[in-house]
Amino acid sequence: MKFGLGVPTGTEGLMYPVPYADPEQAVQIAVEAERLGFDSVWGNDHVTTQRYVRAEFDAPPRFYDPYLYLSFVAARTTRLRLATAITVMAFRHPVVAAKQAATLDQLSGGRFVLGVGIGAYREETDAMWPGATLHRGRQADEFLASLETLLRDRRASFHGEFLQFEDVESYPKPVQTPLPILSGGNAVGSKRRAARYGTGWLPAVLSPAEVAAGLADIRREAEAIGRELPPDFDVAPQLSVAMGDSQADAMARFETTQLHQHMRSLAGSTLKGQQGGFAARNLVGSTAQIQDQVHAYAEAGVTTLSALLFACNTVAETLDQMARFAEEVIAPVNAGTPDALAPLGAGPGTTPPGTTPTAGAAL
């Protein structure tokens, strides 16, 4: 199992209060993540303040560009994987996105992971495409198909409904071949794009059973189109973390945070149709309960717990919770036997579906 941390590129007013992290603190969180043993950091992508955030806070939130932020973090770290969760595909032309992704992968020595999605807030897309009738799902399909040729071919052309370019020679290519691309989201289209184009799937706030069902859907879709998923196909849900003396104590703490409010705001978009409470589809509870939850996700086929968000309202609290999680969850899991976190059906000496022969997929 790999562990990733959600970093504050676009979290003020959403997952955390305004203000939350200035630039130095945002970078400090990532550097500390590497020191504590996290495997990756994941930055989100926002371009303008959402309407409900404007109504809640007098001051505007600070949204940092994830690519510039991750480039800066690359220079301050040595092994940390640098990822987006997510890059919103409507925010960048694929020619620009290919250049940004390849440059970051080159500068970091092959540590970039591209998580992509359609975004949770339609109002941001409307700000980027004023007056246009943009179907975000079809645009996302075109984005990934065109990105594939830009990252692979010497000369790339594409002519679609929303995206067009001709004879583009985009160099250098990424260090990694292929560049890891994870399709973000819980919807049918997100899973279909993971099956068709991705090296992984990046859902949000799903229970282990829901992850297992979604992974089965992806495998069926890939089989239907004749695509063999990569052996290290990365199943990387994004979850929240609330640690306490018990699940009730942890949930009470969770409900006092801005992160809990953010989860409620996604009920009509990313988390639409989910049943049951937050505790069933996040890491909420005592240390022992959270360790059990991590095992349950591994049994469901999860290889990375990506972009973990701690239920806190200050940077100081976040750093404290990161340290506790690293000591009480990451270290014991990493010290476990090779089969301790094997997905269901994988016995000793076997390679679980969706993982590499090592203890979890590379990320």
- pLDDT category at 276 given cuts 50, 70, 90 is low
Structure tokens at 145: 């198909």
Express each pLDDT in 103-153 by its tens digit.
999 999 999 999 999 998 888 988 888 887 889 999 999 999 999 999 999
Judged by DSSP in three states, 162 sits in coil
Asked if 83 contacts 306 with a C-beta cutoff of 8 angstroms, the reply is yes
pLDDT of residue 360: 30
Q: What CA–CA distance (Å, rounded) separates 328 from 278?
A: 21
1, 359 contact by CB (below 8 A)? yes
Amino acid identity of residue 37, one-letter, is G
Q: What is the pLDDT of residue 272?
A: 62
Region 92-108 average pLDDT: 98
**304, exposed or middle or buried, with CB in 10 Å at 0-12, 13-18, 19+?**
buried
How far is 315 from 26, CA to CA, in rounded Å? 9
Judge whether 325 and 335 are in contact, CB under 8 Å. no
Q: Which residues pair with 87 in a beta bridge?
A: 116
The tokens describing 107, both together, are: 């500068």
Residue 113's DSSP bridge partners are: 83
pLDDT at 297: 97
Residue 152, both tokens: 């692979």
pLDDT number for residue 348: 31
> Which of 156-160, 264-268, 329-333, 339-343 is predicted with the least confidence, judged by mean pLDDT?
339-343
Domain ranges of the chain: 2-334
259-269 tens-digit pLDDT: 988 877 776 66
Euclidean distance between CA atoms 126 and 124, whole angstroms: 5
pLDDT for 185 beyond 90: yes
- In order of 112, 201, 290, 310, 312, the CA distances from 250 in angstroms are 33, 28, 11, 11, 11
Q: What is the pLDDT of residue 280?
A: 87
Rounded-to-integer distance, Cα 85 and Cα 267, Å: 18
Helix (H) or strand (E) holding 31: helix 23-36
Q: Are 219 and 344 in contact (CB under 8 A)?
A: no
Cα gap 148→152, rounded to integer Å: 6
The one-letter code for the residue type at 341 is L
Residue 274 has pLDDT above 80, yes or no: no
Under the banding of pLDDT at 50, 70 and 90, the label for residue 196 is: very high
pLDDT of residue 263: 78
All residues at 6 or more sequence positions from 152 whose CB lies less than 8 Å from its CB, including other chains: 173, 178
**Model confidence pLDDT, tens digit, residues 28-76:** 999 999 999 999 999 999 999 999 999 999 999 999 999 999 999 999 9
Give pLDDT tens digits for 10-28.
Answer: 999 999 999 999 999 999 9
Cα angle: 244, vertex 249, 254; to 5 degrees = 80
The percentage of residues in the chain with a pLDDT greater than 70, rounded to a whole number, is: 90
| Structural tokens at position 300 | 């469901």
| pLDDT for residue 188 | 97
* pLDDT per position as a tens digit, 209-253: 999 999 999 999 999 999 999 999 999 999 999 999 999 999 999
The CATH superfamily of 2-334 is Luciferase-like domain (3.20.20.30)
Label residue 349 by pLDDT band (50, 70, 90): very low
Q: Between residues 336 and 140, which one has the greater pLDDT? A: 140
Give the strand pairing for 164-168 and 156-159: antiparallel
Write down the pLDDT at residue 275.
Answer: 56
Q: Look over the chain and give the mean of its residue pLDDT values, rounded to a whole number.
A: 90
Residue predicted with more confidence, 189 or 358: 189
| Token digits of residue 197 | 């184009």
Q: How far apart are CA 126 and CA 134, in angstroms?
A: 8
- In three-state secondary structure terms, 54 is helix
